Amino acid sequence: MKLDIMSGSMELHAMQRHAKAVEEAGFDTLWLTESGRTAYLSAAAAGLATDTLGLGTAVAVAFPRSPMITASTAWELADATGGRFTLGLGTQVKAHIERRYSSEYAPPGPRMKEYVQAIQAIFRAFRGEEKLAFQGDFYDFSLLPAQWSPGPIDAPDPRIFVSAVLPWMSRMAGEVCDGIHIHPFNSAEYIVERQRPHIEEGVARAERRLEDVTFEIPVMTPVGDTDEELSETREHARQMIAFYGSTRTYSPVFETHGYEGLSDRLHAKQREGDLAGMVALITDDVLDHYTVTGSWSTLGANLVARYRDVAPTTRLMTYTASSQLRKHPDILDRWAQVARDVAAA
C-alpha cells in the first residue's frame, strides 16, 4: 500500500516547487484537482520538475473536451514523464457542464463509459495497433492521418480512472476502467458494503478480476502531537464532512453507520445559511467514522489498519495534507515519515 497526496492546482512555477517537495517527502503519487486552473498543465509542470513521482488528475473534467483532445494530452504527459501519468476523469455536475462549459451532460453514465472506450480506441490507433474506427451513441472517430497522430511512445498507455459514487458509475468503472476514484466522503465500511459490490458486478460482466481495478481512496487525515495541532486538523475535516454530507446524494454514506436523516438536516441548515449549525451537527462520533486521526507516529499504521481489507489493489491518498502544508510547510518531514510508515505497514 502506498500513500499519495492530493493538491489543488496553483501557479505553474509554484506547482513545480510543490511537486519537488512532495517527491522528496516520499509520497508515491501527486493527484491534481481541476478548478480554477487546468489539471493537465499542473501535471505537465509537476512532471517536468520531478523524476520518480507518479502524477494524475483527480479529476479532470471530461465532457467539455473531446475524447481525442483528452487522449492526446494524456499521451503527451505519459511520454514526457516516462509513463508516470494516470488519467483521472470525472463528469462534474450538470449545472457546471451545461452552464459553465456549455457542453452536453446527459446521460452522464453512458456518456462517460463511451468516453473511456473512445480514448482506449484512440490509444490503440496512436500505437498503430488498429485503424481508428470508433462508433458510438455520443462519439464517432474514424479519421487519424499519420501526420496528425503522435505515434507510439516508449511508455505504457496511460491508465484511466474515473470518479464514481453511485451504482451505475461504479459498475462501469469495474467493467472498463483501470481504477476508480472513491469520493473523499467515505468510510471503509461504506466502500465494502455499499460500493464494492457494484464494482464487482462490472468486473464480472467484463470477465475481469477485482485486482485489475485500483481503488484510489482519499482520506481526511487529522494529525498532530499536540491538542492544538489535532484541533486545527479535526475542525478542518469536520467542516468538509458537513459540506459534503449536505449533498443528499451522499446520504448512504451516513446511513451505513446509522446516521439516518443527518444529510437532510445538513441540507436544511445549508439552505438557511447556517454554516455554524452545519458544522455543529458533525459530532466527534460522526467525525471519527469518516476520518483517520493519529499522532505523527501512529497515523500511517492507523491508515493501513482502517483500509487494508477494502480491496485487493488499494492506494490511499491524504486529502488534507496539501492544505495543511500550505499553512505549515515545516511539517513536510513529518509527512515523509507517515508515507514511509504506510509503505512499511
What integer best gives the mean pLDDT of the chain?
96
Does position 245 have pLDDT exceeding 90, yes or no?
yes
Bridge partners, residue 30, by sequence: 5, 55
Whose cell is 517537495? That residue is 21
Does position 199 have pLDDT exceeding 90, yes or no?
yes
Domain boundary among 290, 310, 325: 290
Given a contact cutoff of 8 angstroms between Cβ atoms, the answer to whether 281 and 212 are in contact is: no
pLDDT in tens, 61-101: 999 999 999 999 999 999 999 999 999 999 999 999 999 99
Whose cell is 461504506? That residue is 190
| Whether residue 129 sits in one domain with residue 37 | yes
pLDDT in tens, 38-72: 999 999 999 999 999 999 999 999 999 999 999 99
| Whether residue 167 sits in one domain with residue 50 | yes
What pLDDT score does 9 carry?
A: 84
Mean pLDDT, residues 130-145 taken together:
98
pTM of the model: 0.96
Given a contact cutoff of 8 angstroms between Cβ atoms, the answer to whether 318 and 1 are in contact is: no
What pLDDT score does 12 carry?
A: 97
| Whether residue 180 sits in one domain with residue 274 | no
Does position 126 have pLDDT exceeding 90, yes or no?
yes
The number of domains in the chain is: 2
* Rounded distance between C-alpha atoms, residue 121 and residue 105, angstroms: 22
* Rounded distance between C-alpha atoms, residue 162 and residue 110, angstroms: 13
Helix/strand/coil (H/E/C) assignment for every residue in the chain:
CCEEEEECCCCHHHHHHHHHHHHHHCCCEEEECCCCCCHHHHHHHHHHHCCCCEEEECCEECCCCCHHHHHHHHHHHHHHCCCCEEEEEECCCHHHHHHHCCCCCCCHHHHHHHHHHHHHHHHHHHCCCCCCCEECCCCEECCCCHHHCCCCCCCCCCEEEEECCCHHHHHHHHHHCCEEECCCCCCHHHHHHHHHHHHHHHHHHCCCCHHHCEEEEEEECCECCCHHHHHHHHHHHHHHHHHHHCCHHHHHHHHCCCCCCHHHHHHHHHHHCCHHHHHHCCCHHHHHHHECCECCCCHHHHHHHHHCCCCCCEEEEECCHHHHHHHCHHHHHHHHHHHHHHHHC
Domain boundary among 269, 290, 311: 290
Which residues form the domain of 213?
3-221+292-344
Band (156; pLDDT cuts 50, 70, 90):
very high
Supply the CATH number for residue 7's domain: 3.20.20.30
pLDDT in tens, 6-29: 998 899 999 999 999 999 999 999
| Whether residue 244 sits in one domain with residue 313 | no
| Whether residue 189 sits in one domain with residue 74 | yes
Domain boundary among 275, 290, 305: 290
| Whether residue 163 sits in one domain with residue 17 | yes
Helix/strand/coil (H/E/C) assignment for every residue in 68-134:
HHHHHHHHHHHHHCCCCEEEEEECCCHHHHHHHCCCCCCCHHHHHHHHHHHHHHHHHHHCCCCCCCE
Answer whether the bond into residue 22 is a cis peptide, omega within 30°: no
| Whether residue 296 sits in one domain with residue 286 | no
| Whether residue 90 sits in one domain with residue 43 | yes
Given a contact cutoff of 8 angstroms between Cβ atoms, the answer to whether 344 and 1 are in contact is: no
Does position 323 have pLDDT exceeding 90, yes or no?
no
| Whether residue 128 sits in one domain with residue 78 | yes
| Whether residue 137 sits in one domain with residue 46 | yes
| Whether residue 252 sits in one domain with residue 116 | no
| Whether residue 182 sits in one domain with residue 237 | no
* Rounded distance between C-alpha atoms, residue 297 and residue 160, angstroms: 34
Sign of CA dihedral 223, 225, 229, 230: positive
